[in-house]
Amino acid sequence: MRAFDGRPVSREQIQKIAEDIRMAPSWKNSQTGRIYAAYSPEYVEEVRKALPEFNQRSTEKAPAFLVSTFKKGIAGFAADGTPTNELGDGWGAYDLGLQNAYLILSASEQGLDTLIMGCRDADALRKLFSIPAEEEIVAVIALGYRAGEPVMRPRKPAEELLQIR
């Protein structure tokens, strides 16, 4: 969703999202995804400043932002710190993506819309929330109520995504 109507979300709605994302599967149940929620107007404004102009425009009236991170070196790694296969921390990003899929569905179930943003200033966000160096900052997700109907972007046909042999 790239247009929000400015209506506030509640703390309870954000807490419900946190309850729902707990159910996402993860590598050896390592649960390395984390969310830093910007809820107060001051934090919301600071997160917005950490976005490029086009994302600022899309989220002008978004009442909250969810900054998602994952703890590095755990998902996809053995206890002694060696990567289990070639993907390494790709598995942490994979798990966070799954968790964020749960997040957007939880939001949707509560009548809320989201915009996932990969274009953001990670250094500014790290400073703002004092995010430790062990965590990789990934997507910022705007949360709020829609203004108008979103445009459905075209999708590739299923045959292009799937091979059955």
Ligand X SMILES: Cc1cc2nc3c(=O)[nH]c(=O)nc-3n(C[C@H](O)[C@H](O)[C@H](O)COP(=O)(O)O)c2cc1C
Q: Tell the smallest beta-carbon distance from residue 112 to ligand X (Å).
A: 15
Contact residue for ligand X among 9, 74, 117, 142 (CB under 6 A): 117
Q: Tell the smallest beta-carbon distance from residue 119 to ligand X (Å).
A: 4
Contacts of 124 (CB under 8 A, 6+ apart): 46, 49, 50
Q: Tell the smallest beta-carbon distance from residue 160 to ligand X (Å).
A: 16
Contact residue for ligand X among 53, 79, 153, 164 (CB under 6 A): 153
Selected range binding ligand X among 25-33, 86-94, 111-119, 141-149, rule: CB under 6 A? 111-119
- Helix locations, 22-163, DSSP H: 41-49, 53-58, 90-109, 122-129, 158-161
Q: Is 99 in the site for ligand X (CB under 6 A)?
A: no
Q: Is 139 in the site for ligand X (CB under 6 A)?
A: yes
Write phi, then psi, for 64 (nearest 5 degrees).
Answer: -155, 155
Task: Name the residue whose CB lies closest to ligand X.
Answer: 118
Q: Is 58 in the site for ligand X (CB under 6 A)?
A: yes
Residue with tokens 């600071």: 46
Closest listed residue to residue 116, CA positions, set 42, 40, 54, 55: 55
Angle between the N-to-C axes of helices 41-49 and 122-129, in degrees from 0 to 180, rounded to the nearest 10: 160
Contact residue for ligand X among 26, 55, 106, 114 (CB under 6 A): 55
Q: At 128, list the tokens.
A: 């703002």
Residues of this chain that interact with ligand X (CB under 6 A) are: 2, 55, 58, 115-119, 139, 150, 152-153
